[in-house]
């Protein structure tokens, strides 16, 4: 049987942290005297109280063995249980959401998806918009940490390719996890501060700059504005595109750069492909729009760049009306959204790494068909990809494509039209947060979807963030029997 105490202890500590952090937006609401501070304080007391009780009940548990099953369970618990705490302020205070809507919003925030069910974001209390941004920021940090530390050893979706010598078991990882966490937090916080200062310099007010910076660096997309980045057109779009793009690159490379390996980022083949594919998609859609509309190239390029970067990185900010750009633009958006950002970041989708490995496997198979006696290994970054990694990538890509189809059918059964269903599942599974389709177009939110559809999307967001197979592993009876 699994020893649940170490996992429960870590989750209890996380709840204590979340409860403490709720006091920050509570203080902002109290200072602004908008009547919402008491709800935030109540949520903080409940969250910290539960977290404290769990932590005390499992005191000393972290000294016990922490194995791969514990890692799966912890990852599952973080993304499934912590949104319950994140939803409390949304239920107790303005906007007084139902449990389903509040949990949807919190899951969307912590998984850095960015889909919302709230209409009237500009009318929300300042503390509530700050809390939404904090959910994005904390979720992005947690995702980056798990991607750097746990996923390679958990052997999920081919991520074992990134294991390093002397860092391949939990017994070796845990003693060094705090050092890596400190380096990651330093890089993550540094990017956030830089983004915040730039946003403030281009004219955003203090609250918008903070919330947008949190959501940008986390590739989360929760905006304090109903029209997202449309109100910051011009310099805001260029600044947003830049910080979204660099935030979807592997954080381990930034840590390496800080520690003296200055060329680590660009030497990573997924980073080079990521930049090239993003540029190609932007230029293709820009050319399409200019040729079909006759509009001035610079505004079209700027708006296209922002939206393509937002979709590929899984951020979910929008500028303008992307849904009205025509079929070609929608197809390109769909493709780059499926590809996603780089492995080792908080972005979603297949990731560039898995896409590259899959493409390499296709090339190898085509050469094998042409020359049956030729030995053609699948290669990535100059290294042969072992069978276990290749099988992991193949399973992930296959599952991803099948889930888009199956879950889209599920949404249509709740009454969603075909376009809204497909793009909503695409957005949720890729943790993109970008709403396209008739059911989203009127409000830019998912408020009009029925309750059953929202729960399908909640599960889909969690599947995307838990690397698909991780959630299936936890619900298997064999997992609990050991």
Residue ranges for the binding site for K(+)? Answer: 112-113, 220, 315, 431
Q: Which of 350, 381, 147, 380 is nearest to 267 (CA)?
A: 381
Residue 167 pairs in a beta bridge with 164
**Cis omega (within 30 of 0) for bond into 200:** no
Which residues make Cβ contacts (< 8 Å) with residue 405, sequence separation at least 6? Answer: none
Tokens read off for 11: 């989750």
d(CA 87, CA 104): 8
Question: Residues 345, 248: contact at Cβ < 8 Å?
Answer: yes
Q: Is the Cβ–Cβ distance between 177 and 133 less than 8 Å?
A: no
Structure tokens at 122: 């500009």
SS3 164: strand
Nearest CA to 231 out of 320, 323, 129, 124 is that of 320
- In angstroms, rounded to a whole number, what is the distance separating the alpha carbons of residues 213 and 234? 17
Instruction: Give which of 81, 70, 72 is closest to 18, Cα–Cα.
Output: 81
């Amino acid at each position: 049987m699994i020893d649940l105490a170490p996992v429960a202890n870590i989750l209890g500590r996380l709840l204590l942290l979340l409860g403490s952090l709720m006091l920050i937006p509570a203080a902002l609401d109290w200072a602004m005297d908008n009547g919402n501070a008491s709800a935030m304080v109540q949520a903080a007391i409940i969250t910290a109280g539960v977290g404290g009780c769990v932590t005390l009940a499992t005191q000393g548990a972290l000294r016990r063995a922490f194995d791969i099953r514990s890692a799966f369970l912890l990852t599952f618990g973080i993304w499934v249980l912590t949104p319950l705490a994140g939803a409390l302020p949304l239920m107790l205070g303005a906007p007084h959401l139902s449990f389903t809507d509040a949990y949807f919003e919190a899951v969307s925030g912590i998984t850095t998806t960015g889909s919302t069910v709230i209409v009237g974001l500009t009318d929300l209390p300042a503390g509530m918009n700050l809390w939404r941004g904090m959910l994005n920021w904390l979720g992005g940090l947690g995702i980056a940490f798990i991607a750097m530390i746990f996923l390679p050893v958990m052997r999920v979706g081919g991520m074992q390719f990134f294991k390093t010598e002397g860092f391949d078991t939990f017994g070796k990882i845990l003693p060094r996890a705090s050092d890596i966490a400190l380096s990651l937090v330093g890089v993550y916080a540094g990017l956030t501060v830089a983004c915040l200062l730039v946003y403030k310099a281009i004219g955003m007010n203090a609250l918008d700059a903070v919330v947008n910076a949190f959501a940008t660096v986390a590739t989360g997309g929760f905006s304090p504005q109903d029209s997202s980045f449309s109100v910051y057109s011009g310099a805001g779009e260029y600044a947003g595109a830049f910080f979204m793009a660099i935030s979807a690159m592997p954080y381990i490379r930034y840590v390496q750069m800080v520690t003296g390996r200055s060329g680590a980022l660009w030497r990573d083949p997924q980073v080079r492909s990521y930049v090239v594919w993003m540029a190609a998609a932007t230029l293709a859609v820009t050319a399409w729009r200019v040729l079909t509309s006759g509009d001035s190239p610079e505004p079209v390029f700027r708006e296209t760049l922002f939206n393509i970067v937002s979709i590929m990185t899984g951020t979910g900010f929008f500028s303008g009306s992307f849904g009205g750009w025509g079929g070609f633009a929608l197809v390109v958006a769909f493709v780059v959204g499926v590809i996603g950002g780089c492995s080792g970041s908080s972005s979603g989708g297949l990731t560039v790494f898995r896409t590259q490995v899959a493409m390499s496997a296709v090339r190898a198979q085509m050469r094998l068909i042409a020359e049956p006696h030729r030995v053609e290994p699948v290669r990535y970054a100059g290294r042969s990809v072992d069978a276990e990694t290749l099988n992991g990538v193949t399973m992930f890509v296959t599952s991803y494509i099948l889930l888009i189809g199956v879950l889209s059918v599920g949404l249509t059964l709740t009454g969603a039209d075909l376009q809204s269903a497909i793009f909503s599942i695409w957005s949720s599974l890729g943790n993109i947060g970008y709403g396209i389709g008739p059911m989203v177009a009127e409000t830019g939110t998912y408020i009009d979807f029925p309750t059953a559809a929202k729960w399908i999307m909640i599960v889909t967001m969690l599947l995307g963030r838990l690397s698909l197979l991780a959630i299936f592993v936890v619900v298997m009876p064999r997992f609990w029997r050991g």
